[in-house]
Amino acid sequence: MPQFLNAQDADFESRFTALLSAKREDSPDVDAVVAGIIADVQTRGDAAVIELTSKFDRLDLTPETLRFSEEEIDALCAQVTPDERAALELAAARIRAYHARQMPQDESWTDDSGATLGWRWTAVSAAGLYVPGGLASYPSSVLMNAIPAKVAGVGRLAIVVPTPDGEANPLVLLAARLAGVDEVYRIGGAQAVAALAYGTDTIAPVDKITGPGNAFVAAAKRRVFGKVGIDMIAGPSEILVIADKDNNPDWIALDLLSQAEHDESAQSILITDDAAFGRAVSNAVEARLETLERRAIAGASWRDFGAVITVPDLDTAAKLSDRIAPEHLELCVADPDTLSEKITHAGAIFLGQFTPEAIGDYVGGPNHVLPTARSARFSSGLSVMDFLKRTTLSKMTPEGLRAIGPAAETLAQSESLEAHGLSVTARLDALNK
């Protein structure tokens, strides 16, 4: 059973605060091991990667077989059923169309002083994408990471994906191909992150690494940050559903379970303005848990971190939602657009009862890599911006320098940075001769 809270109860504030601060993840401290692996790859390159792959993935590679050949990828892609291929193609097209709209504009203008100012966006030259192996090897995540990179204009996009015992997921390879990935390596763990960051004889280094992974991968990404850019370190998944009584309790139950089934540490919360509806949803969850394939995982998540919160009105629901700052927020209410305008902090909002969160995981178009653990207060989901950087541009005229240069001289003097000031003074002296 999940927790039941009522916003009008005397103990609500303390219970809600406890819910917000519940520690859901206990990451093992693998930092020392990871530091050793990274140093090894830096020193010995391919040899270290090959040795570690043999040890962890029980797979013997050579520098020639680290990378999937095009023929191998062809053969694996051919194993994908037509239905699955069509579904991946639909997803890829929709994700590409959504992210194409995110491309920012370059700007340039001339201001009153005569200065020409602006900025220019350019793509990261080379990016690497980590794809987990085994159970959590999701082709949808390949699309969600790789397509924004390619839309942004990344020239070289490499994927690393471990294939324990040599077993590869054909859908991951097809997703990579549909997304335009340039290179796929069958390696994983901290050694794969190190190879991408520092390069080996076989694998050229990249400038940015994105994608989910286990504790070793997360620790490796933290360690190589600075040498390369990284995306966020994602925590367990979360969903908040705000629903009124005019919903099918079973639909809402399935939406809550679709996050709960990811991970025992996932968190699913329902906020409703009707206590009886909340109980009906809770009952529907229990009913579905009886037969769900991943009921052990989903049941543990729902029992340990699930919550049903009753509120007097939807305004209160919006306020609580902003305190949760959910990764995924479903608004299953009569007027979801109006309620949406009251929300400030959320990774992704799904409006109305015909927009289950799972649509966003696969085919909606927006990215499914979203801020977790309340970080939607200050960060955003993955986008083309993660693969772009902005160079600012300034060009002064002699007249412009005359107009604003003296202020720079004054401030340089205030900050005791004499050469800063002199670099302006020398030019003004020449202009004023």
> Which residues in the 151-210 window bind a second copy by CB under 8 A?
171, 207-208
CB-CB neighbours of 106 under 10 Å: 12
Answer yes or no whether residue 343 interacts with a second copy by CB under 8 A: yes
Closest Cα to residue 358, out of 258, 249, 289, 252?
258
Identify which of residues 18 and 70 has a Cβ nearer to a second copy in the complex. 18
Q: How many CB atoms lie within 10 A of CB 338?
A: 12
Chosen residue from 29, 62, 135, 290 binding a second copy by CB under 8 A: 135
Beta-bridge mates of residue 238: 267
364 binds a second copy (CB under 8 A): yes
DSSP, res 133: -
Q: Does 373 bind a second copy (CB under 8 A)?
A: yes
Does the active-site annotation cover 328? Answer: yes
Subset of 16-75 contacting a second copy (CB under 8 A): none
Cα–Cα distance, 1 to 124 (Å, whole number): 47
Q: Cβ 252 to a second copy, closest distance in Å?
A: 9
Kindly state the smallest distance separating residue 424's Cβ from a second copy, in Å.
6
Q: How far is CA 276 from CA 9, 267, 270, 302, 318, in A?
A: 16, 22, 13, 19, 20
Question: With binding defined as CB under 8 A, does residue 406 bind a second copy?
Answer: yes
Residue 359 makes contact with a second copy by CB under 8 A: yes
> Contact between 211 and a second copy (CB under 8 A)?
no
Helix (H, G, I), strand (E, B) or coil at 153: coil
Query: Restricting to residues 377-396, which ones interact with a second copy according to CB under 8 A?
Result: 377-381, 383, 385, 389-396
In angstroms, give the least distance from the CB of 64 to a second copy. 27
The minimum distance between CB 362 and a second copy, in angstroms, equals 4
Residue of the chain from 49, 59, 88, 218 that contacts a second copy (CB under 8 A): 88
Given 183, 328, 330, 368, which residue is catalytic?
328
Interface pick for a second copy out of 1, 22, 78, 407 (rule CB under 8 A) = 407
**Are the CB atoms for 370 and 349 separated by under 8 Å?**
no
411 binds a second copy (CB under 8 A): yes
Look at residues 160, 150, 195 and name the one whose alpha carbon lies nearest to residue 39. Answer: 195
Report the C-alpha gap between 316 and 322 in whole angstroms: 10
- Tell me whether residue 66 or residue 126 sits nearer to a second copy (CB atom): 126
Restricting to residues 240-269, name those near a second copy by CB under 8 A: 248, 250-251, 254-255, 257-258, 260-262
Residues in region 219-238 near a second copy by CB under 8 A: 226, 228-229, 233
Most distant pair of Cα atoms in the chain: their distance: 88
Is residue 259 marked as binding? yes
Give Cβ neighbours of residue 235 (< 8 Å, ≥ 6 apart): 24, 25, 265, 372, 373
Can residue 360 be called a binding residue for a second copy (CB under 8 A)? Answer: yes
Q: How would DSSP label each residue in 340-400? A: HTT--S-SEEEESTT--HHHHHHTSSS-S----TTGGGT-----GGGGEEEEEEEE--HHH
CA atoms within 13 A on the CB side of 349: 21
Subset of residues 320 to 339 that bind a second copy, contact rule: CB under 8 A? 336-337
Nearer to a second copy, 52 or 126 (CB): 126
Which of 356, 384, 432, 433 touches a second copy by CB under 8 A? Answer: 356
DSSP bridge partners of 210: 129
The number of beta carbons lying within 10 Å of the beta carbon of residue 326 is 28
- Known binding site: residues? 130, 191, 214, 237, 259, 262, 328, 361, 415, 420
Residues designated catalytic: 327-328
